Structure 1
Amino acid sequence: MDEKTIFLSKAANLFIENGAKTVTMDEIAKEFGISKKTLYQKYKNKEELLEEVLKHRLEVVIDRLQYLDDNVENAIERMICRDEEIDKVSHANNNILIRQLLKYYPAIFQKHMLNFSSKFSEVLVHNIKKGRQQGFYRDDFDAEIYSKIFFQLVMSYDSSPFFDTAVIEREHFMQETLMLYMNAITTEKGKEVLKNVHQK
């Protein structure tokens, strides 16, 4: 891991544990044993550092998802594998960093979520293309729109006024969301595979 990656990973942990607004540039400089002047030579302000940290975190998540793409040949099995990674991502949607981004840095949050949606959709569209070639997914739907709908549903657990999270457990919500999506896109052949994979 290079020096910049280590720095961004540690800075991300600071923001996740303490929040985007709470952590100061002074505290970051102190944490890394560097002067504030040195830190400002790398990043002109906290907003720029936050954007870089969010970009880094997104790359880590997308890399993990693409790793599954490269290592699981069956498109449906690939989606079932993804469930654990999606859960980690959606769970992070309610941490102090995200809550403070929403409140104090809405433009940065909005930019991050649009970027996240775009990158996540690329992974799903690739999966849809593979599944269509394997005869598991229908051809008569817009892959990009469906992938973004799925992303929106996955990310809605903590923020939707329609789900009582005290009653509906996250794991159950994620499983049902995945099955809703998969049943919407699969052919009859795909549904048989889905049934077998889901029962394992």
Structure 2
Amino acid sequence: MREKIIHKAGELFLTLGFKSVTMDDIANELGMSKKTIYQHFDNKTKLVEATTLDIFDNICNGIDCICDASHNPIEELYDIKMFVMNYLKNEKTSPQFQLKKYYPQIHQQLKMKQFEKMHVSVKQSMQNGVDTHLFRENIDVDFISRMYFNGMTGIKDDNIFPSKLFTMEYLMESYLEYHLRAICSEKGLQILNTFINKTNLN
């Protein structure tokens, strides 16, 4: 039952936002009383915390599968971007913004978990790129993996990148290309250009 509540709450939070969805909404969607939900979660904050960690774990598992199956670190980053975008429903209601505003402690906890996960996986991917001569040999893998996380977090700041001017799809696509062009070798740039041209044709 606990997993069922978390799953439904996650769907609603991502679609409508963490602040907008009430415990009544979740109970109604599940066809149960609020009392049943409170048997598993003391309050909405506890449910939000459990739900965000569950979403995070699911995304991590998906990213791990992509990394295991990837052909090269360039396509891997694009595949991860598409997976995350689809999973988060393109963040149309800015759930991360609502999480940061109304549940700052949970947001900070999640951000650190995101950094720990991304730092490890991006470092591995970058080192793979260096080893296969797709990325320049002289790049500082640790520094750039931190910069990558900082950039991916930064483009979600609505004050700097207003949603009325930029879609999240455009921001992620543009930042990813910006990042890769900065670290690719000549060989890597050929693969990147081919991949982008092929994607644009589809």
1:185 deviation in Å? Answer: 1.9
Q: How does 1:136-175 map to 2 (within 5 A)?
A: 136-175=134-173
From 76, 80, 83, the equivalent of 1:82 is 80
Q: Which amino acid aligns with 1:47?
A: T
Q: Which amino acid aligns with 1:132?
A: V
Cα-Cα RMSD: 2.8
Structure 1 moving runs of 4+ over 6 Å: none
Equivalent residue number for residue 9 of structure 1? 7
Residues in 1 aligned to 2:140 and 2:171: alpha-carbon distance in whole angstroms = 24
Q: Which amino acid aligns with 1:39?
A: I
Farther off after superposition, 121-130 or 140-149? 140-149
Equivalent residue number for residue 130 of structure 1? 128
Equivalent residue number for residue 119 of structure 1? 117
1:135 deviation in Å? Answer: 1.8
Q: Which amino acid aligns with 2:173?
A: Q
1:53 deviation in Å? Answer: 0.2
Residues in 2 aligned to 1:97 and 1:190: alpha-carbon distance in whole angstroms = 35
Distance 1:143 1:4, change over 3 A: farther
| Superposition TM-score, scaled by structure 1 size | 0.79
Quick one: percent identity of the two aligned structures?
A: 27
Q: Which 5+ residue runs of structure 1 have no aligned equivalent? A: none
Farther off after superposition, 56-65 or 81-90? 81-90
1:148 deviation in Å? Answer: 3.3
Q: Is the 8 A contact 1:136 1:186 kept in 2?
A: yes
Equivalent residue number for residue 91 of structure 1? 90
Farther off after superposition, 105-114 or 146-155? 146-155
1:105 deviation in Å? Answer: 1.4
Q: Which amino acid aligns with 1:163?
A: F
Residues in 2 aligned to 1:96 and 1:190: alpha-carbon distance in whole angstroms = 34
Equivalent residue number for residue 103 of structure 2? 105
Q: Is the 8 A contact 2:8 2:26 kept in 1?
A: no
1:10 deviation in Å? Answer: 0.7
Q: For residues 88-121 of structure 1, give each alpha carbon's deviation from its aligned partner in whole angstroms, at most 9, with x where no partner exists.
A: 45932x6254333222211111211221232233
Residues in 2 aligned to 1:36 and 1:164: alpha-carbon distance in whole angstroms = 37
| Superposition TM-score, scaled by structure 2 size | 0.79
Farther off after superposition, 184-193 or 49-58? 184-193
Equivalent residue number for residue 28 of structure 1? 26
Distance 1:169 1:42, change over 3 A: closer
Q: Is the 8 A contact 2:15 2:89 kept in 1?
A: no
1:175 deviation in Å? Answer: 2.4
Q: Is the 8 A contact 2:2 2:40 kept in 1?
A: no
Residues in 1 aligned to 2:169 and 2:16: alpha-carbon distance in whole angstroms = 26
Residues in 2 aligned to 1:79 and 1:105: alpha-carbon distance in whole angstroms = 29
Q: Which amino acid aligns with 2:136?
A: R
Q: Is the 8 A contact 1:90 1:157 kept in 2?
A: no
Q: How does 1:66-77 map to 2 (within 5 A)?
A: 66-77=64-75
Distance 1:174 1:16, change over 3 A: closer
Distance 1:5 1:71, change over 3 A: farther
Q: Which amino acid aligns with 1:28?
A: I
